[in-house]
Amino acid sequence: MGIEIKTVGIIGAGQMGNGIAHVCAASGLDVRLNDRDPDRIEAGLALIDANLARQVQKGTLSEEHRRSALERIAVARSFDDLGPCDLVIEAATEDEATKRKIFQALCPSLKPDALVATNTSSISITRLAASTDRPDRFIGIHFMNPVPLMQLVELIRGIATEDPTYESAKAFIAKLGKTSTMSEDFPAFIVNRILLPMINEAIYTLYEGVGSVESIDTAMRLGANHPMGPLQLADFIGLDTCLSVMQVLYEGLADSKYRPCPLLVKYVEAGWLGRKSKRGFYDYRGETPIPTR
């Protein structure tokens, strides 16, 4: 039997972390939001408030529900404040060394039966679990971006993840009103194993001069019926995250087809990371995004 999850801790108040906090609080769970940068917590809470207000305007949420959801989110100034949580989800930057340090520092603050999860989109769950004191209670819970809108959540078991941990995580996702799919612990799991090589190939298509940013995105929107073009999507995800996932695939599977495009590397080195830095394959500094190539 798994444990019932009533209180959720979230480490990282950025794009993914505040989205996870949003859906947990809106589903009636108590949330404790942690980030090493206090300003990021305040920005995350403001964004959650704005997104909940947008739901009220659309008629999908009542004003009373919005207020009660906000009241269920508390700020966790330290890992000790996450002690009462039934589940703690790490949603920090997509860097394995950073995540391992977080888990090593976190675990002494948790109660013995607490579950620990990572929102990683590509890194080995088994390796991350080995940096904790509870690999049997560790699991990958990969939410899609933007969390409040996307229906799917990937659940990834490490080699030591026990059945009750998986069942608890599956019940947790169901309580959020989302659909879970189970992936084996291979590099990038299911969604990014398929999606990121497509994006990388689109960048190669740009790099080799086959088409411009605008023509590539238009071709895939209208020719393949994609809701947004692959280069626009890369900017939305973050080019640094795209590069990180491709590096995990390239190193983990040792296949040249996963080699990150040199143009992607160059953009990341330039700090052109997409929407979050106001410049990527599009320039977002004006009223309308303009292709950069």
Of the listed 34, 51, 119, 121, which one is catalytic?
Answer: 121
Using the structure block, give the residue that is written with the tokens 């799919």: 181
Residues facing residue 182 across a β-bridge: 155
CB 118 within 8 A of CB 93: no
Q: Is-catalytic flag, 145?
A: no
Q: What distance in Å separates the CA atoms of residue 225 and residue 260, rounded to the nearest whole number?
A: 25
Q: What is the DSSP letter of 110?
A: S
Q: Which amino acid is at 29?
A: L
Q: Is-catalytic flag, 168?
A: no
Q: What distance in Å separates the CA atoms of residue 241 and residue 103, rounded to the nearest whole number?
A: 20
Of the listed 90, 142, 180, 244, which one is catalytic?
Answer: 142
DSSP line for 80-148: GGGTT-SEEEE---S-HHHHHHHHHHHGGGS-TT-EEEE--SSS-HHHHHTTSS-GGGEEEEEE-SSTT
Using the structure block, give the residue that is written with the tokens 């509870």: 134
Using the structure block, give the residue that is written with the tokens 């019926």: 225
Give start and end residues of each alpha helix (H) in 62-177: 63-71, 96-106, 125-129, 163-175
Q: Is-catalytic flag, 192?
A: yes
The contacts of residue 5 (CB under 8 Å, 6+ apart) are: 29, 86, 87, 115, 168, 171, 172, 175
Of the listed 18, 192, 200, 244, which one is catalytic?
Answer: 192
Strands 7-11, 87-90: parallel, antiparallel or unpaired by DSSP? parallel
CB 227 within 8 A of CB 221: yes
Residues across the chain: 293
Q: Is-catalytic flag, 131?
A: no
Of the listed 90, 154, 200, 244, which one is catalytic?
Answer: 154
Q: Which amino acid is at 139?
A: I
**Which residue numbers are catalytic?**
121, 142, 154, 192
